[in-house]
Structure 1
């Protein structure tokens, strides 16, 4: 990897206004979205929707601690069906869609990307330290384009007015150019209406993908979004499409099955697939027979 490529890697930066009124996070997710598309064979529609979800999930996860995790689950009546994205504070992002090759018929009149999900529900789950169960909060989709829905979630469920941009750039050949996003959150002492002003400003903002394509990096985008407010960098970190699934984990999951269930599948090997990263794991027949013997021994 060249120095230039390293400098331009997918990363997230966090900053705060010097007067303490606003927080901002900016993330570049170009390679994350490209990896998701390649692993799952995503249609153009799903590339954009899952790409935005992966980006938005990482922005929210940047507010967590250590290896705490945040999951976005969006289920709609459109052709995409179910969409899931997950990220943790250390920058590991993964996700999938139920119908990866789903598309829309744009010859059918007034069709929009939000029709991919249609009427549905967004649920955000946070797995936090010292809490036995995840915290879940849901909203009805107000648009289905992920960006507006996430901003609405932040106000309704988190009570944090936020300006959000999520963007996956696609060229005329259907290839991903750049991807990324930003989230600006109002702090408790911020003046009323400041987020509304920022949202109006962002409506006139160049797209994140275009700014990245124009060689602006996350630092430049952070300063441009907050201008004329001075902003101080708090933190930065790499982000990657990364899944912690392993063959051993899948085999251990099989070992949790009861004796009768194992017996039913012991005649042949099993191919198990990770939803999140589409990795395939083959568990041999003799390994299942060994699990069967171990399970029987525990019963005696």
Structure 2
């Protein structure tokens, strides 16, 4: 099995910092993991763009956390895509999902813009820390539905961090992922305004196109250069390779069966129905036998007596 087939990538998020420590930067070529998501879920173009950008954004945010910490992004809107979820960890694990993978607009007059597809709604960001029962959550209104701008808005509203987020997912003529990646520049407290102005000027004048640069063979370090022209920076060590990873297990499937209740479980037992479940996020199949369904029912019954 190749790396690409099992969701592993030879790539990693590259982290950088300006020499004066006032800017921290993360950049990534996430083509392989986004391509793996598309293969698993057979996402159509707009769903691929939405989930892909969300996965890239989550990876860039997670790279600035600590070991075993993770971040989840949930976009919920009034548009036909309804919602998009992506989750990534500091260790390079990432996954993404939309309940509408086969959404197809009536026309592509607006190109692959997500603004109408996601519509008006909210972005909820959850930060999970090891040994913490409940994650820290923050919710903001979406400002554009284009993912990158919404992440930047969240960072400013919830953490008072000014940032520049540029995400790209490029599809070939068959609608398949050709390249995916992005860059996140965060401005630390105490930065001189001239530095901020210079980053903004670089962005406005050069208009770096992440997808186009990746197609032309750019590395993550190359993605950073046009944004930081005139600013000295260096790369930090971050040897965490990307992997499309889903924590689903058979135990979780069985726990989900417990929500059906005794009556429905008994009906399945009477009909001798095995349960066949496929994880929508990673495509992994699970089979629960009739005796296992019986055990679930007996356990629920015992608990109901206490």
**Superposition TM-score, scaled by structure 1 size:** 0.88
Structure 1 pair 173–130 and aligned structure 2 pair: CA distance change class (3 A): closer
1:205 is matched with which residue?
Answer: 207
Q: Which residue number corresponds to residue 166 of structure 1?
A: 167
Deviation, structure 1 residue 260: 4.8
* Match for residue 248 of structure 2 among 239, 245, 256: 245
| Matches for 1:68-107 after TM superposition, within 5 Å | 68-106=69-107
- Taking the aligned partners of 2:159 and 2:135, their CA distance within structure 1 comes to 15
Q: Within the alignment, does 1:149 sit opposite 2:150 as a pair?
A: yes
Displacement of 1:195 in angstroms is: 3.4
Give the distance between the partners of 1:53 and 1:110, measured in 2 at CA: 19
Secondary structure of 1:56 counterpart: helix
Compute the displacement of 1:108 (Å): 6.5
Query: CA separation of 1:285/1:29 partners in 2, compared to 1, >3 Å: closer, same or farther?
Result: same
CA RMSD of aligned residues (A): 2.5
Which residue number in structure 2 is paired with residue 5 of structure 1?
Answer: none
Equivalent position of 2:298 in the other structure = 293
CA distance in structure 1 between the aligned counterparts of 2:214 and 2:187, rounded to whole angstroms: 25
Measure the CA separation in 1 of the matches of 2:275 and 2:245: 24
- Aligned residue number for residue 11 of structure 2: 10
CA distance in 2, matches of 1:111, 1:174: 11
Residue number in structure 1 paired with 2:237: 235
Q: CA deviation at 1:273?
A: 3.2
How far off its partner does 1:265 sit?
3.9
Structure 2 partner of 1:66: 67
Q: Structure 2 length normalisation: TM-score?
A: 0.87
Tell me whether 106-115 or 41-50 shows the greater mean CA deviation.
106-115
| 83 and 110 in structure 1: CA distance in 2 versus 1, 3 angstrom threshold | closer
Contact 1:72 1:84 in 2 (8 A): yes
CA shift, 1:88, in A, is 0.9
**Where does residue 269 of structure 1 map in the other structure?**
274
Distance 1:223 1:272 in 2: 46
Shift of the 111–59 alpha-carbon distance from structure 1 to 2, 3 Å rule, reads closer
Q: For residues 134 and 174 of structure 2, what CA distance do their matches in structure 1 show?
A: 45
Give the unaligned 5+ runs of structure 2.
Answer: 4-8
Change (3 A) 1:79 1:174: same
